[in-house]
Amino acid sequence: MARNIVITSGKGGVGKTTVAACLSAQLARKGQRVILCDADFGLNNIDVVTGIEHLVTYDVIDVIEGRCRAKQALVKHPDFSNLYILTSSHSAPERYVSPQSLKVVLDGLAPQFDFVIIDCPAGIDDGFHRAVACADEAIVVATPHVSSLRDADKVITLLKSYRLRSLSVVVNKLRGDLLLSGESLSPSEIEKLLKLPVLGLVPEEYAIYGGEFTDLHPAFRMLAGNLMTGKNKLFDVTKKYSGVLGNLRRLLKRRL
């Protein structure tokens, strides 16, 4: 039976979709059978991020409205044989989708998979509730900035009112150079502020997918490993900035 995990944040633009997509692909690469579900019905973009938009025939609304079976709406990723994507509303973007109807679809698929990763929309209204109601675990994505952490804190308070088995944080867009110079909050400070364990660290990098979705950053390998094993090995975002070359990188970054 799959673990249903919602990737949420409150604030938009912090990297929910990026983390959901790269984490799912990395879990699939580790041999796990994964559904990546786009529960963002307003600004849905999982298909674009994963590069499968040309392969979509049916979406979750087609399933809910009986035009196809749930399995028919799953798009098998051409580069990750264990990754299946369930896209949201191409057919009817304005249609209301209840939390129960999405849950029925995902619960029907869960027995044949190891993970269902749910990409949550920004905000804390209906879309948030619908995505969280389908999950039994949550990962809150936050960046080390005050506005993001404030929203994350509000979302965590809300998430505590759901019966979730586990709740953790992924710190995204962390800058190793600023961490070394003391200008960025550290993961342990964020852990103390949010009172939740940090399950993963992802650096801010110009091309976080390495330019191609298949070229996954090693930070997602560690995150996927932590999720599977219960350990918390964190990616060292400062390594790139140590030594002679690293110092040079720091200097150059300061000038940008």
Q: Which residues bind ligand ADP (CB under 6 A)?
A: 9, 12-18, 122, 172-173, 202, 204-205, 208
Q: With respect to ligand ADP, which residue has the nearer C-beta, 115 or 203?
A: 203
> Is residue 51 classed as helix, strand or coil in its secondary structure?
coil
The residue whose Cβ lies closest to Mg ion is 17
Residue 143 engages Mg ion in binding (rule: CB under 5 A):
no
Displacement of CA 251 from its chain's centroid (Å): 31
Q: With respect to ligand ADP, which residue has the nearer C-beta, 27 or 139?
A: 139
DSSP 90-131: SS-TT----HHHHHHHHHHHGGG-SEEEEEPPSSSSHHHHHH
204 binds, among ligand ADP, Mg ion, none (CB under 5 to 8 A by kind): ligand ADP
CA distances in angstroms from 247 to 175, 184, 239, listed in the order given:
14, 17, 10
Q: With respect to Mg ion, which residue has the nearer C-beta, 17 or 172?
A: 17
Q: With respect to ligand ADP, which residue has the nearer C-beta, 36 or 70?
A: 36
Output the smallest distance, CB 65 to ligand ADP, in A: 26
**CB 38 within 8 Å of CB 116:** no
Residue 123 CA to residue 129 CA, distance in Å, equals: 10
Residue 17 engages Mg ion in binding (rule: CB under 5 A):
yes
205 binds, among Mg ion, ligand ADP, none (CB under 5 to 8 A by kind): ligand ADP
CB-side neighbour CA atoms (13 Å) of 34: 25
Q: What residue ranges bind Mg ion (CB under 5 A)?
A: 16-17
